[in-house]
Structure 1
């Protein structure tokens, strides 16, 4: 364990189990960290403003041969300052008992090839996740042919037209600069730096109160995904044998996200951060995000030992995109819960951008960030529950419930799964019901047993594959009864805004049609 381990070692945030929540560096380490942070900030500012700086220097006549020696001297001076500062930081860290313990734990995991005992010693510390060893590599698991077909089919091929080239270039630049950050604000480093203290506290709560374990999962495109797992299989609760995989929103992280709801019900729970969020590397472009959730599910199956049939995919807001994509790959999951999720991000983007830019917005979304849940929800045949926020200010226009994009997702689901029940008249009726808060008390339940019996009989004879062609000979009245029944089984309202935590009373295993097998329903 040499001096360089302290010079280039990761930043330590805290040691779990101590009264002092945060690691307090010595004076030398603190001052040197401030200097390095300041120099790094100056470099980032100069990098992004380099065109302006170069233009200014050129106009002032500084970009001439005689100025090269001055630039070399300046660069050398900065380099010497950095080296001296790093050495001072290394010396300061070597005098800290906590930091020395962490370095020893890191070195031990390298020597012991990630031995579990060494990992337990390392998990006592919260430090820069970049230095964490990879726990699971998705490339080591053989993907099946169906998965590759889905991945290939998700990439649409578009005809190239010279006339649209300027718009395509503008769309490319827009999405790869500010566009992806508007769609995923949690990807912005400035926001992450601001929230860093809250993220550290959130991880500490999960580790100390729920005995959570943090893991690094590597995707097939070599991104490293920051995940955390709470194992409740041994707590005596039946829910502990079910794993809930939580996919967060566009500005949320597992440390301060939706994990609290299934944890309150004693499920086993796994959280993960989108690529580019907190400890995860990469950027939240669709293919990287798809590879990330795929790797997380693979990790849950092959490393944590959960059967696909015991996994619930839980997505909030834009996390519903990730959850639905995973359901397309792993169709035998126990269910999918979508909270405050939209149908197609294109319509949300168009409503928030000037109409004059609609062409560029459409190209940018469809070519580079096509988050379309309408396609994904029709590729999943399992149990699903949609939760709508009646006062949602994010996926609605002016908080008007009839413009909530979750309405269209619900209609798409029901129309696809039961096309002969949800004909034009029934769709208009359900759309009218969705234009106001849906209160179960306003519906008659006298025909529920009969509706359930019809579904069981059909599914037992014909199977549960969708679209389910039940209702061909039904009267309009019977279709209306079935339509309302199916809406209530797949859809639920929660009176709240977009970002309010979901109460545990709203988190249920999604409803499924039982199949009659002799005298037993399975």
Structure 2
């Protein structure tokens, strides 16, 4: 029995923190809800440090392996006579590390806190009951060892089915909007494929190496290790102060998605009945990301990490991102008990892709809030790459990283709110000083042009651009009042059109209206669909700036 427990300690996960449950006291006898960091003893602490350094060196050598191999080749180390001693040396190192791991297991075996934890973990894996899961939630440990909480897909020999909603899925997962292919003859198509084969190969290599890491730096292991103390502190706050519940979901592609749910329905507040699903940025994690904004507003909140971020597995390509978003929504509906009409999707920055995909795929969702997001990735990618790379960048983005937020938002009929950072330095194409180069402007214009094409004529676009170009709230108000916009009249016109027709977008309202009337409606709609926030891209959004989108 003791040997079996020691083996469990050897193979067990790294324990980071113990979250105190309401009926649990602190080891030092003090009161309070806060938990405490797990304290390994001498042997476990030193052996864990050795294994941590070995892991860091492995990560560093992995990312620098191309340069390292070139250096070894030039020095003549890559030959049969020298590979044998090197392999023997590597084998010796692995045996030593295995011995260190066994010693660490012995140190854990001598620690009562770890033995209690590993016992609860094994019990939960065997009997996945609410009582055992409640005990396990008192511990923060490597998420790869966390038991599965929700799987919404099943495989057959030919295809996949979502057995909770009976929606058929392709083998690759949920459906995405794809770039429209150019029509070519058979001979032209074959010749074109041969000519563009090198470009396809280079694009594939770029997308799967530095391209993906540039787009999603939060997926880089070294960055996550550097941020680990901050992430652990943020997760402890969500669990201990907000009674957050961590869950592991499995998407249709097999990736495990790390989520955190805070339930406010029992608090009695009106906002608590609404669930806000948060989609983080390219270096954001739910532990320290945009979850705090709706939490401060009293909403129920569900946060999740991109594939490859935090405890989530996989890599954050668009298909994997959409698959992850899909299982998060399914979990919210079928496990947490929210209806789609009670869900608000809130996204920051690059999270706008999964948010816009969600409302496109689930049109019954209550509303969409996009903060500091953009219409399309391609203009931003072209901004940071040399002009000579333009054809290659276009091909790479469209084939592997096609984050077409605007095209997806146009498929949604519900309320939308865009929040524009007036000093945004990330999603501008020329710099934060040029507010008209903010790609949020393009997202707003595309949305208004689709929904209200008779209002957003050339003159309507011109006055909205003038409003968007205002350098201060005072100038913005001056533009608005300069066209003598009558808000009550605008609302009455739109309500009258909606009552008479009850049609989906696009609307033909404004086709028989004067030029002055169309100007007023264009500015009125622009101010309803977009709000300015005087801040840079990465400034946390205060709860007071988080509003439900405008409804007619």
State the TM-score bracket (shorter-chain normalisation).
over 0.9
* Farther-moved stretch of structure 1 (296-305 vs 74-83): 74-83
User: What is the aligned counterpart of 1:478 among 512, 517, 521?
Assistant: 517
User: What is the aligned counterpart of 1:205 among 231, 237, 240?
Assistant: 237
Deviation at 1:175, TM superposition (A): 1.4
Does 1:155 pair with 2:178? yes
Does 1:389 pair with 2:382? no
Structure 2 partner of 1:109: 124
- Matched-pair contact (CA < 8 Å) for 1:246–1:313: yes
Give matches, 1:431-470, under 5 Å. 431-437=465-471, 439=473, 441-442=477-478, 443-444=480-481, 447-470=486-509
Deviation at 1:72, TM superposition (A): 5.1
Q: Deviations over 1:133-162 (max 9, x none)?
A: 110112154355587699445234756532
Deviation at 1:29, TM superposition (A): 1.1
Q: Deviations over 1:204-261 (max 9, x none)?
A: 0011111000011110000001100000001010110000000011111111111111
* Farther-moved stretch of structure 1 (302-311 vs 157-166): 157-166
Q: Deviations over 1:160-181 (max 9, x none)?
A: 5322222222221111111111
Does 1:85 pair with 2:107? no
> Structure 1 residues 252 and 54 mapped into 2: Cα distance closer, same or farther (>3 Å)?
closer
SS at 1:155 equivalent: coil
Instruction: Give the TM-score normalised by structure 2.
Output: 0.88
Structure 1 partner of 2:39: 24
Structure 1 partner of 2:153: 139
Q: Distance in 2 between matches of 1:369 and 1:383?
A: 27
Deviation at 1:56, TM superposition (A): 5.7
Structure 2 partner of 1:516: none
- Matched-pair contact (CA < 8 Å) for 1:147–1:329: no
Q: Distance in 2 between matches of 1:64 and 1:421?
A: 72
Deviation at 1:66, TM superposition (A): 5.5
SS at 1:387 equivalent: strand
Q: Distance in 2 between matches of 1:58 and 1:360?
A: 30
SS at 1:425 equivalent: helix
Deviation at 1:197, TM superposition (A): 0.2
SS at 2:257 equivalent: strand
Deviation at 1:79, TM superposition (A): 3.0
SS at 1:254 equivalent: coil
User: What is the aligned counterpart of 2:526 among 487, 499, 505?
Assistant: 487
Structure 2 partner of 1:518: none
Q: Distance in 2 between matches of 1:213 and 1:145?
A: 27
> Structure 1 residues 403 and 134 mapped into 2: Cα distance closer, same or farther (>3 Å)?
same
Structure 2 partner of 1:517: none
> Structure 1 residues 496 and 73 mapped into 2: Cα distance closer, same or farther (>3 Å)?
closer
> Structure 1 residues 430 and 45 mapped into 2: Cα distance closer, same or farther (>3 Å)?
closer
- Matched-pair contact (CA < 8 Å) for 1:437–1:493: no
Structure 1 partner of 2:248: 216
SS at 1:220 equivalent: coil
Q: Deviations over 1:24-72 (max 9, x none)?
A: 2111112212222233334444445556655666666666665566345
- Matched-pair contact (CA < 8 Å) for 2:282–2:351: yes
Deviation at 1:357, TM superposition (A): 1.1
> Structure 1 residues 488 and 377 mapped into 2: Cα distance closer, same or farther (>3 Å)?
same
Give matches, 1:256-405, under 5 Å. 256-396=288-428, 397-399=430-432, 400-405=434-439
Please report the RMSD computed on the Cα atoms of aligned residues, expressed in angstroms: 2.2
Q: Deviations over 1:428-453 (max 9, x none)?
A: 11112111247474434862222111
* Farther-moved stretch of structure 1 (154-163 vs 181-190): 154-163
SS at 2:369 equivalent: strand
Q: Distance in 1 between matches of 2:173 and 2:523?
A: 33
Deviation at 1:302, TM superposition (A): 0.4
**Unmatched tracts of structure 1, length 5 or more:** 514-522
> Structure 1 residues 66 and 116 mapped into 2: Cα distance closer, same or farther (>3 Å)?
same
Q: Distance in 2 between matches of 1:375 and 1:423?
A: 20
Structure 1 partner of 2:142: 128
SS at 1:107 equivalent: helix
SS at 1:30 equivalent: helix
- Matched-pair contact (CA < 8 Å) for 2:485–2:523: no
Q: Distance in 1 between matches of 2:455 and 2:173?
A: 29
> Structure 1 residues 432 and 153 mapped into 2: Cα distance closer, same or farther (>3 Å)?
same
Structure 1 partner of 2:460: 426
> Structure 1 residues 385 and 68 mapped into 2: Cα distance closer, same or farther (>3 Å)?
closer
Q: Deviations over 1:331-373 (max 9, x none)?
A: 1111000000111111011011111111111111111000011
Structure 1 partner of 2:8: 5
* Farther-moved stretch of structure 1 (263-272 vs 141-150): 141-150
SS at 2:265 equivalent: coil
- Matched-pair contact (CA < 8 Å) for 1:402–1:436: no
Q: Distance in 2 between matches of 1:170 and 1:427?
A: 39
Q: Distance in 2 between matches of 1:47 and 1:258?
A: 32
Q: Distance in 2 between matches of 1:121 and 1:375?
A: 45
Q: What is the count of residue pairs matched by the alignment? A: 512
* Farther-moved stretch of structure 1 (159-168 vs 196-205): 159-168
User: What is the aligned counterpart of 2:18 among 15, 25, 34?
Assistant: 15
